[in-house]
Structure 1
Amino acid sequence: MSTRDFLVELGTEELPPKALNSLSQAFEAEILKGIREALGKDADTLLATATVKRYAAPRRLAVLIEQLTDEIPSSSTTVLGPPINICYDANGKPTKALEGFAKKNGTTVDQLSEVSGKVAFEKVSEATPLSGLLPEIVSNALAKLPIPKRMRWGASRVEFVRPVHWLVMLFGDEVVDCEILGLKAGRKTRGHRFHYNHEIELIAPQQYAETLRETGKVVADFAERRESIRNQVVAEGQAIDGVAQIDDDLLDEVTALNEWPVALTGRFEERFLEVPAEALISSMAEHQKYFHVVDSNGQLMPNFITIANIVSKDPQQVIEGNEKVIRPRLADAAFFFETDKKQTLESRIEKLKSIVFQQELGTLHDKAVRIATLAERIAADLNEDPAKAKRAAMLAKTDLMTDMVYEFTDLQGLMGYHYALHDGEDEQVALAQNEQYMPRFAGDELPQTAPGIAVAIADRLDTLTGLFGINQPPTGSKDPFALRRAALGVLRIIVERNLNLDLRELLSVAADSHANLPARDGLEDSVLDFMLDRFRAWYEEEGIPADVFLSVLAVRPTRPLDFDQRVKAVSHFRTLAEAEALAAANKRVSNILSKQGVSDESAVSEAALQDDAEKALYSALNALQGSLDAAFADGDYRQALESLASLRGDVDRFFDEVMVMADDEALRNNRLALLAQLRSQFLGVADISVLGA
């Protein structure tokens, strides 16, 4: 079977830079999916030698598949019909059932056969050229791209993310005859908008990238262009004895904005360095897409690196143009900073009353008061200074009222830190202004100071109890207030900072701080259950089996640090040779006790023990009691489970030799009490009967 190279390129107006890479990936994936569906069960074999390359530039999306099979091979399928005994009448003539089956399959009765007692038809599909299916495959791929809102242009009713201008579709050296998005497919692409704004005829698909680069001055490969920009930016930084700082998201966006990238270094006035570096960096990156540079000490330098989309005959003119543009931006930041410093954060607390946090939960001022109450409690529980935590909480949202944060919203917290220092606030109180938002995302750093920890936890718990209290928990994939992320953030802070905090107690304080919550009854428990369930994904990422998590969840510890210690202990216990047998025994014990309604508090009478096996188990349990009590007191659950693992022999012997459900009621109840005592010791860590379930 022969193969040919296939190329499809859609030319457009400039595509959304933040979406370009994802559009390219989806385009490639959908085309491959369509081809696989067309090739059917033999797709893997037929595509074994094919190689796929995707291209994405500001004005084009393209996919190249080298050595793609040029036809869908013939195939045969056996179609089974009705039972043979109803297909002929007593005279041997075909019935309507048989004739209907033949007609449905486009054949005649004499072409049918019998397979396993049923009438059958061998349906043969002839080999067909793949080229005839390519237009539909490409059309479907474009229709399925992740485009939130499509647009129309001119008088056309065609819709796409941006207006389309040309379409290249080549299969081998032939144009695929079709029309897609109102464009007739051809072999002509176009070069760089400024360097080579002309059509370029492609003879064969494999020439695509090289022809665009050499003739059209377009680097079509997104990854190649991205790496070129990275290398150029690094070199520009080194040329001024600095280190260019490259944010991956900014790098992706700049890559999506340029077809022929050229890095240039500009400079701004040193007086702007008096403004907090974060504000300058945000202004340069957000508004101008510039990379900033730091010196050997990590201090911001008065330079920026921009990416031009052309090779200029006079690069200095381009640099000066960018310097002229950035100057008013930085001047605005400097003005905002100086203006904001004229008012203290404390003076802005009253202004929080004018901003609604959530209609049913009050203003930001209401929220600040609630956070302060809870932060005080958290600090006290941690044996830290409650006054600092309260002060940090009352100031926490005040930088939202500043001009700087209004203009650069991503600086909230950071500017609060700088303004608090300027106001003469305690350093930890100032640091807490920024730390309240940590962790901002998965893997982000955690707050370090006690006030920062207290406010970060309190803020999230206030939001969780408030939203749950007005019956607005997350539903399905909808989580507009990011409550899942808030819950996970609290768990991370408590566990990774080794904080012995009782989550249910804190949730009770948070819930009581709200006024008139419709769903106040049982609120602590519903939020606690929601939060503890966030541990499931946490442990999945760590490779801990779900049954380990569920075994601990079954006993519902309310201290996240304690929860984590139990999970780690059970995970270790699961690796012991005794684990499987003891888990099965616990499950058996649990089933027996649940049916008999025996309490874990039932006392065992040593005098009533009769069989040697039950006496041995009782003795072994009593011998372990002291070490178990000490282990539980220290939270050493691993040691507790290792000690309990030593009971395996006695437990196995008990079930082999002892009749628990004896006819004698007193004897039966005593044996049930012994099993309840055994189970209660394991429940001191987790419900290990869940393991392996």
Structure 2
Amino acid sequence: MATNTLLVELGVEELPPSAIDTLSDALADGIRRGLADADVGHGHVRAYATPRRLAVMIDELVDKQPDREIEKRGPALAAAFKDGKATKAAEGFARSCGVEVSDLIHLETDKGTWLGFREQQLGDPTTSLLPAIVEKAINALPVPKNMRWGASRVEFSRPVHWLVMLYGDQVVEASALGLNAGRTTRGHRFHAPEAIELLHADDYLASLENAWVIADRDKRRERIREQVLAEAEVQDAVAVIDEDLLVEVSGLVEWPVALTGSFDERFLEVPAECLISSMKANQKYFHLLDDQGRLKPLFITISNIDSSDPQLVIEGNEKVIRPRLADAAFFYDTDRRRPLADRIESLSGVVFQKQLGTLADKAHRNAAVAAFIAGRIDGDVAHARRAAELAKCDLVTEMVLEFPELQGIMGRYYATHDGEPDEVSQALEEQYLPRFASDDIPATRTGQALALADRLDTLTGIFGIGARPTGTKDPFALRRAAIGVLNILIKGELDLDLRELLELAAAQHQELPYAKGLVDEVLGYMLDRFRAWGQEEAIGAEVYLSVRARPVTRPLDFARRLRAVSAFAQRPEATALAAANKRVTNILAKQSGDVASTVDDSLIQEPAEKVLHDAVKAQHAAVMPLFSEGRYQDALDALANLREPVDAFFDQVMVMADNDAVRNNRLALLSSLRALFLEVADIAELQQ
């Protein structure tokens, strides 16, 4: 079959930059699925997009579907003929196939003989299939908000202006969103507004680039990155390129041109984070640092035109950024006139959750839990309590109301200005750490205590009102909160009992509709997060299940066990010992009464039985000190030596002996063997 390149381009008014990637990928995926459903072969599928266009190019698209043999099965032969004549069932089946009964065939199956029909169906030309495939893909795009324009009833994210559909050099006769497909595209709105006639689909990228449009998203982003770095080098500065900002900026331009502007140095008296937030959020600027990491009074803007007078563009941007930075300076000066502590009362007017009270109520609860935790981790109890009282106060400042992403950061600045202890000030920022799984944890004990208290309060409170997260909804980010608690306890090496902490946090809530069983539920939910935690450390699910089977409530201890069992599972002895433990578990589970806790030496009869008993006693003496010190990997390495006596025991000894005393003694021996491993985990789960 012959192949050619397919080009589909939808021309639009400027799209929201946040939607461009999603829409572009969805269009490519929709066309790809349509071709797959139609069994049309093709090569690489590439998605392109700019603010004014969504495009898909597909290499080596075959020109027709493959021919197929169609087979239909009709009624059973016994029901198809009666007295040698065709029944109505046979005649109806023949009519449905468009043939006479005599043209039908017999199909032999393992369930008998059936009347059937078989024919060769020729594949349709690809160009006849494309209109429906493309229209379906366009109509299924996840448009965030539709609009109408003019007198048209058509709806889309933005008004649409042209539709290109080329298969090689051939225009595909199609329509979508009220547009008929053609070969005419458009270049840059200002540099090349004239229509561009595409002679072939393969000409697309080059033709657009000649018309001042870089349609390749990745190429456009890298062009911006290179230009920003080059501008920074000229200024002897370091450019900070935020990847999310880079994506957003690339969604605003078709022909990026980086320009460097400046602002008054007096604005550097404002915290750098405030200026950076203003530049990024409002103007989409990249900021620059000096070699000491300090903010320079410079910014880089990405223009969508290659101006003949770039200085005029720069001055325009400088004029726009000046009042923005002035606002940030005003917010900063205004906020500092009132100490953070004076804002505690204002928290009473801000609802945290209607059933859980205000931010003032949350701060009060957090203070009690944070103080308790600080006492347990050799922190300063007074600092922890003070930090909890002030933790949410910056949420009602002008700066954070304008730039919510500065919560915590501004708390630190304002607390330092107010003369609060350094650790208290730092904790106000650290309370939000870690923000994601691999993020840093709080560095100070006060920050750790506050971060733990805040998350534990949210977890117990939200579960306590019955608003548990589901598979698709987690509006209070409880999964992230739970993983944050685990990371702080593990990375901070804080050997705290999670059950004890949850009981304390739950007790701070006055009324919780679902208080019964709350601690057990939240504890189980949090320990279940170890499955995801383990995956990040390449720890298998069976290892997690082996540790989860034990009543371990100290996350630091849980993590040590996970790592130890994971290392043990790599040993050659692990498979045999896991199987043996599984066998022991099954044997003991079938016993109706209690199994003795000690082994009677006088009832030992078989040599292999004695060898195992001696080995278990020796290992018990060797590993119990290791267990008490949390040296689980060393303990499991020692227990690996039990493989040979365990294998010999099961090969040579009948556990369920006729003599009751002997049988029960052997069960006691197996129970003592299993108990040794259970000090770490139920390694029988490694058989899963």
Task: Please indicate the TM-score interval, normalised by the length of the shorter structure.
Answer: over 0.9
Structure 1, residues 51-75: CA drift from partner, whole Å, max 9, x if none? 3332101010011223311111211
Q: Is the contact between residue 135 and residue 175 of structure 2 (CA under 8 Å) also seen in structure 1?
A: no
State the distance in 2 between where 1:118 and 1:565 align: 65
- Structure 2 residue 671 is the aligned partner of structure 1 residue 676: yes
CA contact (8 A) 1:79 1:123 kept: no
Determine the structure 1 residue equivalent to 2:87.
95
Equivalent residues of 1:191, 1:198 under 8 A apart: yes
Which of 35, 48, 66 lines up with 1:55 in the alignment?
A: 48
Which residue number corresponds to residue 17 of structure 1?
Answer: 17
Structure 2 residue 3 is the aligned partner of structure 1 residue 3 = yes
- 1:387-426 aligned within 5 A: 387-426=382-421
Report the aligned-residue RMSD: 1.6
TM-score after normalising by structure 2: 0.97
Tell me which of 141, 163, 167 is aligned to 1:167. 163
Query: In the TM superposition, what is the alpha-carbon distance from 1:181 to its structure 2 partner?
Result: 0.7
Task: Please list the CA deviations of residues 556-607 of structure 1 after superposition, one character each: whole Å capped at 9, or x if unmatched.
Answer: 3111111111111111111222211211111111112122145577232223
Report the equivalent of 2:98. 106
Letter in 2 for 1:7: L
Report how many aligned residue pairs link the two structures. 684
Please give the per-residue CA displacement for 1:366-420, whole angstroms capped at 9, x wherever unaligned.
1111111111121122122222111111111111111110111100000011111
Residues in 2 aligned to 1:257 and 1:665: alpha-carbon distance in whole angstroms: 83
2:620 aligns to what? 625
Residue 297 of structure 2 aligns to a residue whose secondary structure is: strand
Q: Does 1:65 align with 2:58?
A: yes
- Per-residue CA deviation, residues 411-433 of structure 1 (Å, 9 max, x unaligned), is 00000111111111111111111
Please, which of 184, 190, 204 is the counterpart of residue 180 of structure 2? 184
| Cα shift at 1:441 | 2.2
| Deviates further, 407-416 or 670-679 | 670-679
Query: Once structures 1 and 2 are overlaid, which stretch shifts more, 597-606 or 519-528?
Result: 597-606
Letter in 2 for 1:167: L
Partner of 1:209: 205
Distance 1:311 1:598 in 2: 87
CA distance in 1, matches of 2:663, 2:623: 27
Q: Counterparts of 2:503 and 2:44 in 1: how far apart (Å)?
A: 59
Q: Does 1:476 align with 2:471?
A: yes
Q: Do the aligned residues in 2 keep the contact of 1:336 with 1:404 (CA within 8 Å)?
A: yes
Cα distance in 1, alignment partners of residues 674 and 469 from structure 2? 36
**In the alignment, which residue of structure 2 is the partner of 1:240?**
235
Q: Give the direction of change, closer, same or farther, for the CA distance of 1:513–1:601 in structure 2 (3 Å limit).
A: farther
2:345/2:360 contact within 8 Å kept: yes
- C-alpha distance after superposition, 1:229-268 (max 9, x if no partner): 1111111111111111110110111100001111111110
Secondary structure in 1 aligned to 2:85? coil
**Which one-letter code corresponds to 1:105 in the other structure?**
C
How far did 1:113 drift? Answer: 1.8
Distance 1:622 1:97 in 2: 80
- Provide the residue aligned with 1:642 in structure 2: 637
Contact in 2 for aligned 1:598/1:673 (Cα 8 Å) = no
Contact 2:596 2:664 in 1 (8 A): no
8 Å Cα contact 1:168/1:187 also seen in 2: yes
> Counterpart of 2:643 in structure 1: which amino acid?
R
Whether the 8 Å CA contact 2:596–2:665 is kept in 1: the answer is no
Residue 610 of structure 2 is matched in structure 1 by 615
Deviation at 1:220, TM superposition (A): 1.5
Q: In structure 1, what is the equivalent of residue 510 of structure 2?
A: 515
State the secondary structure of the residue aligned to 2:291.
Answer: coil
In 2, the alpha carbon distance for the partners of 1:166 and 1:601 equals: 84
Structure 2 CA distance for aligned equivalents of residues 490 and 169 of structure 1: 53
Deviations 1:457-513 (A, max 9, x none): 111111000000111110121000010111111111211222211111111111111
Cα offset, 1:108, TM superposition: 2.4
Rounded to whole Å, the distance in 2 between the matches of 1:442 and 1:656 is 47
Is contact 1:617-1:650 (8 Å) kept?
yes
**Are residue 439 (structure 1) and residue 431 (structure 2) matched?**
no
Shift of 1:11: 0.7
- Matched residue SS, 1:549: helix
**SS of alignment partner, residue 458 of structure 1:** helix
SS in 1 for 2:476: coil
- Cα distance between partner residues in 1 of 2:478 and 2:98: 59
Question: Are the aligned partners of 1:600 and 1:677 in contact in 2 as well (CA < 8 Å)?
Answer: no
Comparing 113-122 with 566-575, which one deviates more in the overlay? 113-122
1:26-54 deviation per Cα after TM superposition (whole angstroms, max 9, x unaligned):
21121112112212xxx5xx32xx33332
C-alpha contact 1:291 1:304 (8 A) present in aligned 2: yes
Q: For 1:71-82, what aligned pairs fall within 5 Å after superposition? A: 71-82=64-75
Alignment of structure 1 residues 26-425 onto 2, 5 Å: 26-39=26-39, 43=40, 46-47=41-42, 50-89=43-82, 91-116=83-108, 117-214=113-210, 216-425=211-420
Identity of aligned residues (%): 56
Mapped partners of 1:531, 1:9: distance in 2: 48
Indicate the residue corresponding to 2:650 in structure 1: 655
Using the alignment, how far apart are the partners of 2:579 and 2:378 within structure 1?
43
C-alpha change, 1:147 and 1:452, in structure 2 (3 Å) is same
Report the secondary structure of 2:479's partner residue. Answer: helix
TM-score, with structure 1 as normaliser: 0.96
Structure 2: tracts of 5 or more residues without a match: none
Residue type of the alignment partner of 2:30: E
1:466 to 461, 464, 469: 461
CA distance in 2, matches of 1:53, 1:680: 59
Distance 2:560 2:593 in 1: 29
Q: Deviations over 1:187-232 (max 9, x none)?
A: 1112222222232222211111211221x32222111111111111
Secondary structure of the structure 2 residue equivalent to 1:691: helix
CA distance in 2, matches of 1:26, 1:411: 34
Q: Is the 8 A contact 2:166 2:201 kept in 1?
A: yes
In 1, the alpha carbon distance for the partners of 2:96 and 2:489 equals: 67
| Structure 2 CA distance for aligned equivalents of residues 577 and 101 of structure 1 | 64
User: What is the correspondence of 1:565-576 to structure 2 with a 5 Å cutoff?
Assistant: 565-576=560-571
What one-letter code is carried by the residue in structure 1 that aligns with 2:61? Answer: L
